Amino acid sequence: MAIAPSPGGSEVVAVLAVSGMDFEARIASGPGVETLYGHRDAALARVLDARLAQGCDGVISFGVAGGLDPTLPPGTVIVATAVRAGDASYSTDPYWTAALRRALPQAVCGLLAGSDTPVTTVTGKTALHESHGALAVDMESHIAALAAQTHHIPFAALRVVIDPADRPVPPLAVAGMAADGSTDIGAILFGLLKAPHQLGGLLRLGRDASAAKSALSAARHAVGAGFALTALAAA
């Protein structure tokens, strides 16, 4: 279901922003935006189905993503034109996507990949990029896209590269992703006692994460109320 610009008015829109981590949800929050985070796989699908049954004006997948295109450095903003997961493909709403692109002229536009498991190795990233040319990968976009399609609600995706395609993600970084969307610092510190060689990789990822968070915050500010859907509804 696509959003067509309305002839006029000042409608109040309600956008559901779907993220994996709590810091992404904090950045996403704002007028006209409800956030959902801390759920994965089938649990995320169930929560989304229940929430979208109540209705909303749009669903956006928002947050960081693992880089797949080797030309994209950390901090690259991506406005998705579609999401691909296996053989399934979901297009984003063309009007909403165009509004995001106008608000973010520096963004790269293209395909996002969805994965049910973290893609952490350079080999895995390369294979996924070569399979269908996706720019980056995350673990929520494909689930959010399917749920939005099922409920006939417009969908968009705005992601920022955190780890570049040519750099692996340290296993301890994945271990530190708590199920509730928070970062488990204790698990990381305990893991470093057993695997101190991962410290260098974690420090590099920390620098990449800082760039990604700054870019994500700037992009969120640029798109404005309702992730640009408010302005589109009033056009």
163 vs 8, which has greater pLDDT? 163
Checking if the pLDDT of 29 tops 70, the result is: yes
Q: What is the pLDDT of residues 45-75, one digit of tens each?
A: 999 999 999 999 999 999 999 999 999 999 9
Is 109's pLDDT higher than 90?
yes
The answer to whether residue 2 scores a pLDDT higher than 50 is no
CATH of 15-168+210-224, one of 3.10.450.50, 3.40.50.1580, 3.30.565.10, 3.40.605.10: 3.40.50.1580
**What are the structure tokens assigned to 89, written together?**
């493909």
> What pLDDT sits at residue 6?
33
Q: How confident is the model at residue 28 (pLDDT cuts 50, 70, 90)?
A: very high
Whole-model pTM over 0.95: no
3-class DSSP assignment, residue 89: strand
**In the chain, count of helices (H) and strands (E)?**
9, 8
Question: Which pair of structure tokens corresponds to residue 52?
Answer: 């979208």
The pLDDT of residue 106 is above 80: yes
| The one-letter amino acid at 69 | D
Share of the chain above pLDDT 90, in %: 74
4 band by pLDDT with thresholds 50, 70 and 90: very low
**Structure-block tokens of residue 182:** 């928070």
Mean pLDDT of 191-206: 88
